[in-house]
Amino acid sequence: MTDTKTEIPPCGVFAPQRRLKPFIYSDAQIADLVNAMLVLHPGSFRGVIYHYFFGLLAATGMRFSEAARLQREDVDMDVGALTIRETKFGKSRRIPLHLTTRSALRKFSSGRDQAPLSRDSRFFFTGSAGDR
């Protein structure tokens, strides 16, 4: 049964909805970007944080917000896995880490813990005030 007060528009009235084609970086471009971050903030640990943060994104494919929310207990260096809690749609998951990624995160952790505010933070990646 159809209501005579309504009308279905004909096909082609609305422009097709198209998503922009994503730009896929090459391995060399990713390496250049990540290495360039080391010199972004001379005399500060910020460039080092960016280097490892974006390196982790490139190595795992995790979302920016997931990496920013990582807490220390979410990074299991012994097993070599990350626990991502309460992600999109409220689910949690584990991400395995390659040996080279695990090694890089260990190196980052030891450097991060030299600063008292970072050492006392519950977050894995911390800002200069010890927050995420």
CB atoms within 10 A of CB 35: 11
User: Domain-by-domain residue ranges, the chain?
Assistant: 27-119
pLDDT attached to residue 1: 63
pLDDT, greater one: 77 or 9:
77
Q: Tell me how far apart the alpha carbons of residues 16 and 108 are, in angstroms, rounded to a whole number.
A: 46
CB 112 within 8 A of CB 106: no
Q: Which CATH class is domain 27-119?
A: mainly alpha
Place of tokens 């460039």: 47
The model's confidence at residue 130, banded by pLDDT at 50, 70 and 90, is low
CB within 8 Å of 69: residues ≥ 6 apart: 85, 123, 132
- 78-89 pLDDT, tens per residue? 999 999 998 778
Task: Tell me how many degrees the CA angle 99-104-105 measures, rounded to the nearest 5.
Answer: 100
- 22-49 pLDDT, tens per residue? 899 999 999 999 999 988 888 778 888 9
Whole-model pTM: value is 0.78
pLDDT attached to residue 59: 94
